[in-house]
Structures are given as structure tokens and as C-alpha cells.
Amino acid sequence: MEGGGGSGNKTTGGLSGFFGAGGAGYSHADLAGVPLTGMNPLSPYLNVDPRYLVQDTDEFILPTGANKTRGRFELAFFTIGGCCMTGAAFGAINGLRLGLKETQNMTWSKPRNVQILNMVTRQGALWANTLGSLALLYSAFGVIIEKTRGAEDDLNTVAAGTMTGMLYKCTGGLRGVARGGLAGLTLTGLYALYNNWEHMKGSVLQPSL
């Protein structure tokens, strides 16, 4: 009887040991092979240290020497395309306004519709070409200045805008060049001021605190 009971206990113990139940109890840290001192508890669901799931670095792997932000060359395509679409939309609305104004004495008929449609397409193409050309010149000057100086800051923006205005109005003589340069300088200067407004406001308020 005792031998049978011992045999049964041995069999049960063997099965329990085989399936990982019973026997000497081990803590989760012992099974993981890491101490608890100075470490976060292991996740009971993933069986991994939660610290490895925290992303302290960027999600994207960048090539060696690549910048974390897009440069002017990468932004040039977006700038040119956005200006073309903006000019086309603005020109279409302006053409519709002019077409309705010029044909207000005409009754709604096919000739009036054709005239309005011609005005819309003409103005849309004109404004798209204008803004697209300005964006192309601005992007080209920005890339050249960035590569020449080896730095990317607001000085490149202001210089590129000024040179774009000067070149775009160069057919108007020295007065046209001066006006174009002043217009480009003003617009890009306001843009640079807008981008750095929070930084400037924080710099002014910090000494007073």
C-alpha cells in the first residue's frame, strides 16, 4: 500500500514537473533571470521589460549625414505645386467675378456661358503661372543660398525673397528692381517674424520674470 502510494506520488510529481506545475516555486524574476532591484517589473502579458517598449528616439531611420528636417530642396516641390494650385483657384474665382461683371447685361445663354468660362480659364492660368514662377525663383534662390552658406536659417528666407522680387521685376528698370526687392524683403521679413514670434516673445518675457 505504501509502495503504491509512493509510486502514485512519484508519478504525480513527475507529471507535475513535466508540465511546470508543483515542485519548488520560483518567482517571475528568477524565471526571467533578472533581479528586481532597480528595474521595472516585467509585463505579465508580453513577458518583456516595458522599458524596451518606450521609444526615446525617432521612429524613422535616417541615412548617415541626413538631416531630421526637410531642406529647401525637398520643400521646393511642395512650395511650387502649392503656389500653382493656389494661383489657379484664386484666378478661377477672380475670372468668374470678372466674367459675371462683364456679361451682366447679357441674358443667360450659351455665348454668355462660353465667355464666362473663357475668363475663368484665362485668369486661372495667369495667376497659376505667376505664383508658380515666383515660387520657382524663390525655391531656386533658397537652395543656392543654403548650399553656399552651409546653413539654414531665416536669413536665407529673407535673402531669397528679396532676390526673387528683384529678378521678377527686373524688366521694369532700376525702379522696378527696387520695388520688387522691397516687396520681397517685406513679405519674407513678415514671414520670418511670424515664425519666430513665440521665441521672441519668450525672450522678452524671460528677463522680466
Q: Which residue has the cell 521678377?
A: 168
How confident is the model over 110-159, as pLDDT tens digits? 889 999 999 999 999 999 999 999 999 999 999 999 888 888 888 889 99
- Backbone Cα Rg of the chain: 36
pLDDT at 18 over 50: no
Q: Whole-angstrom Cα distance, residue 139 to residue 131?
A: 12
What count of other Cβ atoms lies within 10 Å of the Cβ of residue 72?
Answer: 21
pTM equals 0.62
Best mean pLDDT range from 29-38, 69-78, 149-158, 166-175: 166-175
Please give the pLDDT value at position 67.
55
Q: Which residues contact 130 (CB under 8 A, 6 or more apart)?
A: 87
Please give the pLDDT value at position 11.
46
**What φ, ψ does residue 44 adopt, rounded to 5°?**
-75, -10
Residue pair 115/150 in contact (Cβ under 8 Å)? The answer is no
User: For residue 73, what pLDDT band results from cuts at 50, 70 and 90?
Assistant: confident
